[in-house]
Chains A and B, each alone.
Chain A
Amino acid sequence: MVAYTEQLCRHIGRYRKIMPVNPRATIYFGGGTPSVLPLSCLEQIVYALKAKGLWQRPAEATIEVNPGTVDGEKLKAYRNLGFDRISMGIQSLHDKELKTMGRIHNKKEALAALDMAQKAGFKKINGDLIFGYPGQTLNSVKSSVEELVKLGLTHISVYSLSVEKGTPLAKDIKEGKLKLPDDNMVGDMYDFIVKYLPEHGLRHYEISNFAKPGEEAQHNLVYWHYLPYLGFGIGAVSFTGRERRTGPLTMAAYLAGGKQDIEKLTSDIQLEECIFMGLRTIDGINIEEIKERFGVDFKKKYSKEVTECELQNLVEWTENGNVLRLTAKGMQFGNRVFEKFM
């Protein structure tokens, strides 16, 4: 842990500007479980960022925590370090489901962690939930969602399970040890979620994300708006607008100072990515911005694709025809739209 922190700080320290940094640039600690880091390590990383001018007056500073690895002390310390937003991997509020998912926490610990976060002064709290996992039912998903909303979270991410090849879960399903809920039930779960959350003040602003007005994840919007970002750590990804750099994927390689993988993005690929990332949010894609960024007349280039999607009621034009966005149905069948632009 110490060695990792040292290497991470070394990387931050060695950082040479590959692009200008906005003083309001958001901060996100996550993609993994930063809450397992000892506080002292975390502090070092934060100081390293500040020393480099990468952490100035962030519009938002989020840290991901797992309910099983935090306590009141840590949460208070995060607040003092300058984090103002917590993202908590709750996944479910049913002990049996959490066990099937291989989570180390139970419902009681999840609720306690949320309570501690609020008491530590965090106003912006996101909770992650999963639906479609083996063992889940429409009712169990309903009650997890309802309970989370009652606790007053400002932001909820709801992910439908996708089984990745080669994972232990895929193996268990293949061997019949676990059984996925059937498509229709998962469909009903989705229908419930996209109806219930907005009715309770959380707007469906991205395919998997719901937030109270003004509480949208500023950091994630950077990804969806296809803007540049810097990443440090194992497997961390940086994006300059023209290339994507990925750090070593294993701890051993990272500690050994392994090279970043650099993926050059052709302007065609940039355009594709910008479109499918942009369409994920309710803001959609602004064709004037596309024109400015890529010099492409979107309506002309994609007239056939857009018409096909419109006929299926998957997309709609707003803002006087300047913005194309997914309809509610489009959010449900996003891939059908995205693939048209590939």
Chain B
Amino acid sequence: MKQSKNIRNFSIIAHIDHGKSTLADRLIERTGTLTKREMEDQILDNLDLERERGITIKAQAVQLDYKAQDGQDYILNLIDTPGHVDFNYEVSRSLAACEGALLVIDATQGIEAQTLANVYLAMEHDLEIIPIINKIDLPSADPDKVKKEIEDVLGIDASEAVLCSAKTGIGIDDVLEAVVKRVPSPSGDSDAPLQALVVDSKYDAYKGVMLYIRIVNGEIHKGMSIRMMATGKVFEVTDVGVFKPALVDVGSLGEGQVGFIAAAIKNVRDARVGDTVTSNDNPAAVPLPGYRKATPMVYCGLYPVENSDYDNLRDALEKLQLNDAALLFEPETSAALGFGFRCGFLGLLHMDVIKERLEREYDLTLLTTAPNVIYEVFLTNGQIEMVDNPSLFPNQTVIDHVEEPFVNATIIVPKDYVGPVMELSQEKRGEYSNMTYLDENRVMIHYALPLSEIIFDYFDRLKSVTRGYASLDYELHGYRPSNLVKVDILLNGEPVDALSAIVHRDRAQVRGRALVEKLRSVIPRQLFEIPIQAAIGSKVIARETVSAMRKDVLAKCYGGDITRKRKLLEKQKAGKKRMKQVGTVELPQEAFMAILKVDK
């Protein structure tokens, strides 16, 4: 009998808030992997931030032991996936380790943009997709309508969709049975040389780099000499285990299994995610297909407010990068902000999460410049420059033309909002592709949009013009020529490089004006007047002034007031700590984000 016959490796994929984490919790509970008492809510989301935001950022895995109705014992490996578009790359990694996916759809909402994106990813990996219609306990649930959508839009047979309520526990047994019956067992060869896919890695202070692996062929055990096929590095396995969901030592893992190994690997670069682990003594001939490398799409500058924190920031970034291969950073210097780093992220959420983790976990006070995309600048001399920092945008005179990244955006929206969505997308320089009716009420619209507009405020505006009903997903499509110019901002007549922005020429005037107005409203009054100018090259296109503060002093202060006044002063000082001294001007973080907040 094949060893892996009773193993099922699966993921759960869902649009945000459709109940993926609750379902995972329920499966863990129902299989007795953890008792109810041991369960913390949404056990798989164990970064503080994930819990607070209700999102999954890093893939996690848990092994469930399940006695099925056929009387046999099964090992179910649940590999959690992030739901947000920024982390599609992580989803893709998780799916590569699975044979099946539970597609969770909210019975009250139906298919959303991220549902589609996830389904396409699962199809790319050739997974068995089991539709799960969740939240059927809610009065507004309409499972039949959702089934129809699944068939019409996704082309998946929904006749055997499982109905459940992860919240109340209805249908959870059916979900488990469906996993056993419908997800194929692994199809590897236990006698072949070891081939294990590195799904993820994590740095542990005691054990070194821990690799989350899926064994495709062969087996791995403690003491074994392994080789990383991409880097050629050889290590000796010190620990082998599974996730329950805490790490449990098991000694060895066979074909089809999911677990972790540690091998005294000091450097994450020696054991890349997507690499194949093989036996050093009996190596496989070829590696498994790897992953497409995650390419950062959004860049921003990260600067410590206190210059003396620069080294701490670098250390913190290095540590975060150990567990997040998609995070890129390299040192940069800004005339205004001093020494910092230009960092690349998968998207805005990724950027926010990294910044928050740096501040929380490493106690840094940071300033971020407005995020931007990476531009391809074709110079008149035939060279091409990739520009990831607006302040480094070449002089207009040497530019032949510029290209910027476009995305294919999928928007799902009730049909009454089609007009506003098209109007908005048009305003954002979008190019209409096509539109499909999902049912008599909901429409799926495709647009090609500049990624920079998505970063700018497209999603916020989309939510607002559709009263929150629209869902959005997008994927990078490629570069297209655009007529772009650099708008510089001058404070007190001095250009502030960190405030430069790249905008479309047709909108430069309007945005420049809006930007200086916004800056005037966010820069606090100081002891002197501050002229703010927006300029293209040497031509000033807009000007505003922050007038000087007239006084700043606590009037009354006698014997009984001292404690309170001291606290006021301490508070005022703490507020200033977040400000960055640029020349003689103190700038708050909001000033650097002003370009994103202008309403034009």
Q: Which residue on B lies nearest to A337, using beta carbons? A: B553
B286 at the interface (CB under 8 A from A): no
- Min CB distance A241 to B, Å, is 12
List the one stretch of A1-9, A12-20, A268-276, A294-302 in contact with chain B. A268-276
Main secondary structure of the interface of B (DSSP, over half): loop
Provide the residues of chain A in CB contact with B565, threshold 8 Å: 276
B550 touches A334 (CB 8 A): no
Provide the residues of chain B in CB contact with A273, threshold 8 Å: 562, 566
User: Contact check: which of A31, A187, A223, A237 meets B551 at CB < 8 Å?
Assistant: A187
Q: Which residue on B lies nearest to A162, using beta carbons? A: B555
A235 at the interface (CB under 8 A from B): yes
A333 touches B552 (CB 8 A): yes
A160 touches B555 (CB 8 A): yes
B560 at the interface (CB under 8 A from A): yes
User: Contact check: which of B547, B552, B559 meets A335 at CB < 8 Å?
Assistant: B552
User: Contact check: which of A31, A190, A276, A336 meets B550 at CB < 8 Å?
Assistant: A190
A184 at the interface (CB under 8 A from B): yes
Assuming the A-B contacts A31-B560, A237-B559, are A186 and B573 also in contact, with contact meaning beta carbons closer than 8 angstroms in the complex? no
Q: Which residue on B lies nearest to A313, using beta carbons? A: B527
Provide the residues of chain B in CB contact with A220, threshold 8 Å: 558
Provide the residues of chain B in CB contact with A339, threshold 8 Å: 569-570, 572-573, 576
A312 touches B560 (CB 8 A): no
Q: How far, in whole Å, are A223 and B565 apart by their CA atoms in the complex?
A: 13
Which chain A residues in 192-237 approach chain B with CB under 8 Å? 207-208, 220, 222-224, 229, 231, 235-237
Q: Which residue on A lies nearest to B557, using beta carbons? A: A280
A81 at the interface (CB under 8 A from B): no
B556 touches A208 (CB 8 A): yes
Provide the residues of chain A in CB contact with B547, threshold 8 Å: 184
Provide the residues of chain A in CB contact with B570, threshold 8 Å: 339, 342
Provide the residues of chain B in CB contact with A244, threshold 8 Å: 562-563
A144 at the interface (CB under 8 A from B): no
Provide the residues of chain A in CB contact with B552, threshold 8 Å: 332-336
1/0 contact trace for A251-281 toward B, CB 8 Å? 0000000000001000001001100110010
User: Contact check: which of B550, B554, B558, B559 meets A183 at CB < 8 Å?
Assistant: B550
B572 touches A335 (CB 8 A): yes
A223 touches B559 (CB 8 A): yes
B573 touches A184 (CB 8 A): no
- Min CB distance A130 to B, Å, is 9
Q: How far, in whole Å, are A335 and B569 apart by their CA atoms in the complex?
A: 7
Task: Apart from A273-B562, A333-B552, A335-B554, list 18 A-B contacts with CB within 8 A.
Answer: A31-B558, A31-B560, A160-B555, A162-B555, A190-B550, A208-B557, A224-B557, A237-B559, A239-B559, A272-B566, A273-B566, A332-B551, A333-B551, A335-B552, A335-B553, A336-B527, A338-B554, A339-B572
List 15 interface pairs A-B (beta carbons < 8 Å), by A numbering: A31-B560, A159-B555, A161-B555, A183-B525, A223-B562, A244-B562, A246-B560, A276-B565, A276-B569, A277-B557, A331-B553, A332-B551, A338-B554, A339-B576, A342-B570
Which 10 pairs of residues, A with B, have the shortest CB-CB distance? A187-B550, A334-B553, A339-B573, A237-B560, A159-B555, A223-B559, A335-B552, A333-B552, A160-B555, A332-B551
**Using a CB–CB distance below 8 Å, which chain A residues touch chain B?**
31, 159-162, 183-184, 186-187, 190, 207-208, 220, 222-224, 229, 231, 235-237, 239, 244, 246, 263, 269, 272-273, 276-277, 280, 312, 331-336, 338-340, 342
